Structure 1
Amino acid sequence: MAYKALYRTWRPQYFSDIVGQRHITRTLQNALLQDKVAHAYLFCGPRGTGKTTTAKVLAKALNCLVPTSGEPCNDCENCRAVNEGNSVDVVEIDAASNRGIDEIRDLREKVKFAPSTGEKKVYIIDEVHMLTDQAFNALLKTLEEPPSHVVFVLATTEAHKVPVTILSRCQRFDFRRIKPDEMVGRLQEVAQGANIEVEEEALQLIAKAAEGGLRDALSILDQGAAFAEKTVTTEDIHSILGTVKQDILVKMTHCLAEGKAGEALKLVAEISNRGKDLRLFGREMTSFLRGLLVEGIEGRHTGIGNETLFSILQVLVQAEQEMKWSSQPALVLELALVKAARPEIAGTTEALSRRVAELEKRLEQGVVITAPRETVAQVEERTLGVNKQAQPDQTKISEPVEAVTSEPLVMAKTPIASDSATAEKIKKNWPALMKGIKEGKKMPLWSLLNSHQPDLEVQGHTLIMYFQEDFDMRTADKPEYRKYMEWLLGKHFDGQWEVRCVHGKKSMPRSAPTPENDPVYTEAVRIFGKDIVYLENDPD
């Protein structure tokens, strides 16, 4: 006898065997007991949740010769005919391959004939959303006023594609994804009945991978039973699904949380060398991190801060979306891992928030952050802006001297010494700066400054550039461009420079007030004229 797949062998034969759809099976049983069966039903929901199975059980219960409490007996002639697939009163139609108007016209002619052996003639139309518009229009009148002996059961995974005129003529039942614990219980029953030895953890992994579809879970179990030598283990399921063990997910999470980007890249390289699908690994990581974040929000200890988990999860969710369409998914994942582990590289606000959160956490724990010791040369260069290239004969001091005692680090900016360079000097040397920008291959910045030279203002060792367009300001304000401009200014004018980019116009200095601007003077001139009058005998 040919082997039959588990999902076919263990298809539920009673309403009570259908897992996770109690809200539907109870309604149908009560309708059968109270003789309130509708003429049309719409079963919609994800794949593998029992839509077609429930339709067949309903068809058996309608035509069963000896029904019991709304359940079919599965022993009478009509029930056996439905189970064997040769009942003339239960017609299954695949709308994906019979979607035209001709097939529906044929159906309209056949519904007029009375059932042969049972009380009802049941038409089960699977994937009904695949019917054409003309076919739906042809079915509409029959569905609205069918013969009394006909019951339609329409099944679909995409109910939003079914016309509203059809939906309004059916009783709709939404099948839900099956919970993991309910699925594990059913898998245990099937494994025991099929004499399959399987580990409990392997069943949980199967239930997780099935994503609410029991048919998918039974297919994975069937494949695992064929793969395993004796007992289906977790290793066997990982090999079949291409997933990784949970300890690898834990290790990767700690690498990202602790900023160990190098170790994270090595780990993902090992996963890739084992032949694992990196897209699947990305999906596993996001699911695992989501679980940790939920635990952390609920107050359970995870060992990692919620802010850190949130920022890492945000980066990997975006990477998972980009990997679907990228020709280099490995590169997308590697960049995301580096960004998640070292957010300061990306220069985002999330990175700054994460660093502040880490500092606050360390301060709460009583960890004192001390400033690193500096040599005298380093202190002099930092405070006075000494250009070592311009003074090669300066005596070097290599022995470290404590600049300050170990004190908590104060996040204050070191004052920059004033310089005699002015905006006029910088304008005079502007061609040299532009040449340096071009030689440094900063072509977008060179093109911008060459076509729209900004207004300049110098305050000490700070150069302020005013841009009238916000887009121009944002382009010039990129960190790599500002750092390069600061280096160029230090090269040409000595010292440590800072560059700021401002959106707007440079404020002009106010001119000294003149008499012409005084309203009293204007009125006096209008009355007496502009001639100067000297008063005789004036004491002043």
Structure 2
Amino acid sequence: MSYQALYRVWRPQRFDEIVGQQVITQTLKNALITGQTSHAYLFTGPRGTGKTSAAKIFAKAINCHHLKDGEPCNECVTCKAITQGRLNDVIEIDAASNNGVEEIRDIRDKAKYAPTEADYKVYIIDEVHMLSTGAFNALLKTLEEPPANVVFILATTEPQKIPLTIISRTQRFDFRRISTKDSYDRMVYILQQKQISFDDKALMIIARAAEGGMRDALSILDQTLSFGDNEITLKNALQVTGSVNHDLLNAYVTDISNQQVSQALETLEKVLAEGKDANRFIEDLINFCRNLLLYQQDPSLVVDQDLGDVDEQFKQFAAQLSAEQIYQMIDHLNETQQQMRFTTHPDVYMEVLTIKLAQPVQMKPLAADEKVAQPDAQAAQSNAEIDRLQSQVKKLSAQVQQLEQNHTENAKPQSVNRQTPTTKRRSREVKPNLAKIYPVLANATKQNLVQLKEIWPDLMSMLSVTQRALMHVAQPVAASEEGAVIAFNYAFLYEKAADDSELRELLSADIDKLVGHDLKIAYVDAEQWPQIRQSYIDQHKEDLQNSDSAAAHSSESVSSQTQAPADPLVTKAEALFGADTVEVKDD
């Protein structure tokens, strides 16, 4: 295969070629110059920011005999062998596919042997956070006291998953996201070296779409070259990245800021008709709003971070829209972005979003004559509201005084009389469906209940925000292979959930995804659950005693030979609901 991707051809071979990580590269070069290198390093940061490239360059530099200013010569036999991946003393390991204890033990055993060709044996472990707990433990002692002439370089995108005992035994370097300007400058250099013409705005689009990853930027650039037949144009860059044309973006923001709903929907239709990705469009809008906020605070921030891409219309938006309006737009954008994660119809969400953005509260500035008339109208409305609230306060005060008098005369009877009807009324409104609950209790086991409780947090995360709020006060209290009983702490939420058939079907479908089979869901009020449970036990007392007579003498109670025999009814209750929730009281 003769052609190689740009990110492979232009992979850094010197510290100075690593983009946007000057502090890290200078620190490593100084350590090499002074001979104060560590035995273990941890490179962390987002993808495509130079972690693995820096590790390979460090492996060359520490073994190069012609080191100059901390940089490898890339001309000696050792440097060329490392560049080509032929040196046996530089071992690169992918922890994602070699994450077991045996692989790390093999590294630990081989690290004892001296290097064969180079001065140092270097182990580069990429995606080290994928190692298992046992593998980390096997690596721990070797990192603390490694053999002579051995260097470990660990690279990861998720340092929070690495045990602190590992991190404390390494020198940690945090690679930051590469700025848009640095990505742009690097692409300009590469295209000039390849003598390819390009459009500056096209490279800006690619640099923004890369989101801080140099490898991503070069991959998108490579794709744009292929799409445009070795020509970089703005149209090709927009087509490849899925970004929205600057004119369409300005037109959309103009329509929603002027509350022109129909025109905003037409502009949205044009955007989607061009095949633009809805999520990318939202990202562009959020970035646009963020730039507006920064420009209002300090125009130089946008000039520095977005390569000076500020036109007159952008300045007009920054002058017209207030910070509160921009905050409101960002809130709507974030909310829609979260909702679109699990939908197959993003265009519907985009249309709803457009209507929300074009019809916000107090979005349009008031005209001069409206500003004059507004205070009088507001004053009249405020006076009417004050009068109404004062009358309500008087009525409530009279009711409070009456209640205090009644309480003083006969406190306890009144308290009972006030509470009893409420309890009775709620018991009539909240009726448990025993036809669904009893079949679950007939086959319920503690193992099924424990399994359901373990997946309960994952199950809640799969629901929408509204459904999660409803189920937040609910928890499973009994489960079998075919069904489950969910108890609600509040009766009114139980009533609401009982009427929501869509929620019950969604819970069954999500449980099917998590455990491999669906469950028939039954709801119950938490206050009624103890009575329902006791009622079931009383009604099926004989069946429980007959079916569990052997269970009382099973292998799980070998020590019971020296103790009193267990009650079969208690044994069945513990099997259904768990021993920690069953309390035995003698009559």
TM-score over 0.5 for the pair:
yes
- Aligned CA RMSD, in angstroms, stands at 2.6
CA distance in 1, matches of 2:377, 2:130: 68
CA distance in 2, matches of 1:25, 1:181: 19
Change (3 A) 1:370 1:26: closer
Corresponding residue for residue 216 of structure 2: 216
Corresponding residue for residue 138 of structure 2: 138
Q: Describe how 1:237-252 pairs up with structure 2 within 5 A.
A: 237-252=237-252
Change (3 A) 1:255 1:369: farther
Rg bigger for which structure? 1
Corresponding residue for residue 401 of structure 2: none
For the 8 Å contact 1:257–1:309, the answer to whether it is kept is no
AA of the residue aligned to 1:309: I
Corresponding residue for residue 96 of structure 2: 96
Match of 1:305 among 291, 298, 321: 321
Q: Which runs of 5+ in 1 are unaligned?
A: 344-350, 372-406, 416-450, 452-470, 476-540
Q: CA deviation at 1:370?
A: 7.3
Q: Describe how 1:224-239 pairs up with structure 2 within 5 A.
A: 224-239=224-239
AA of the residue aligned to 1:337: T
CA distance in 1, matches of 2:280, 2:204: 18
Q: Describe how 1:25-424 pairs up with structure 2 within 5 A.
A: 25-298=25-298, 302-306=318-322, 307-343=324-360, 351=361, 353-354=362-363, 358-359=365-366, 362-363=367-368, 412=380
For the 8 Å contact 1:316–1:337, the answer to whether it is kept is no
AA of the residue aligned to 1:305: L
Deviations along 1:121-175, one digit per CA (max 9) or x if unpaired, are 0000000000111111111111111111100000000000011110110000000
AA of the residue aligned to 1:295: Y
Q: CA deviation at 1:310?
A: 2.6
Corresponding residue for residue 23 of structure 1: 23
Q: CA deviation at 1:369?
A: 6.6
Identity of aligned residues (%): 45
Change (3 A) 1:266 1:121: same
For the 8 Å contact 1:43–1:51, the answer to whether it is kept is yes
Corresponding residue SS for 1:231: coil
CA distance in 1, matches of 2:69, 2:180: 29
CA distance in 2, matches of 1:107, 1:158: 22
Corresponding residue SS for 1:232: coil
Deviations along 1:2-60, one digit per CA (max 9) or x if unpaired, are 11111111111111111111111111111111111000000000000000000000000
Q: CA deviation at 1:410?
A: 7.6
AA of the residue aligned to 1:58: F
Q: CA deviation at 1:199?
A: 1.1
For the 8 Å contact 1:323–1:333, the answer to whether it is kept is no
Larger CA deviation: 159-168 vs 112-121? 112-121
CA distance in 1, matches of 2:104, 2:230: 50
AA of the residue aligned to 2:340: M
Q: Which runs of 5+ in 2 are unaligned?
A: 300-314, 385-428, 430-491, 497-587
Task: Find runs of 4+ consecutive structure 1 residues off by over 4 angstroms.
Answer: 366-371, 407-411
AA of the residue aligned to 1:336: L
Q: CA deviation at 1:354?
A: 4.2
Q: CA deviation at 1:314?
A: 2.1
Q: CA deviation at 1:227?
A: 1.1
Change (3 A) 1:269 1:58: same
Q: CA deviation at 1:368?
A: 6.9
Q: CA deviation at 1:259?
A: 0.5
For the 8 Å contact 2:257–2:363, the answer to whether it is kept is no
Corresponding residue for residue 403 of structure 2: none
Q: CA deviation at 1:328?
A: 2.9
For the 8 Å contact 1:44–1:174, the answer to whether it is kept is yes
For the 8 Å contact 1:368–1:408, the answer to whether it is kept is no
TM-score by length of 1: 0.65
Corresponding residue SS for 2:123: strand
For the 8 Å contact 1:278–1:329, the answer to whether it is kept is yes
CA distance in 2, matches of 1:221, 1:256: 33
For the 8 Å contact 1:112–1:147, the answer to whether it is kept is yes
Q: CA deviation at 1:409?
A: 6.9
Deviations along 1:333-384, one digit per CA (max 9) or x if unpaired, are 21121112112xxxxxxx1x546xx23xx33xx667779xxxxxxxxxxxxx
For the 8 Å contact 1:81–1:87, the answer to whether it is kept is yes
AA of the residue aligned to 1:118: A
Larger CA deviation: 166-175 vs 195-204? 195-204
Change (3 A) 1:152 1:83: same
CA distance in 2, matches of 1:100, 1:229: 45
For the 8 Å contact 2:206–2:241, the answer to whether it is kept is no
Corresponding residue for residue 549 of structure 2: none
Deviations along 1:77-120, one digit per CA (max 9) or x if unpaired, are 00000011111110000000111111111111111111122210
Change (3 A) 1:41 1:368: closer
Change (3 A) 1:410 1:7: closer
Corresponding residue SS for 1:197: coil
AA of the residue aligned to 2:358: A
Size of the alignment, in residue pairs?
A: 371
Change (3 A) 1:115 1:304: same
CA distance in 2, matches of 1:282, 1:410: 37
CA distance in 1, matches of 2:237, 2:363: 37
Corresponding residue for residue 479 of structure 1: none
Corresponding residue SS for 1:154: strand
Larger CA deviation: 46-55 vs 269-278? 269-278
Corresponding residue SS for 2:320: coil
Q: CA deviation at 1:269?
A: 1.8
AA of the residue aligned to 1:33: I
Change (3 A) 1:29 1:297: closer
Q: CA deviation at 1:196?
A: 2.4
Deviations along 1:406-451, one digit per CA (max 9) or x if unpaired, are x997874699xxxxxxxxxxxxxxxxxxxxxxxxxxxxxxxxxxx9
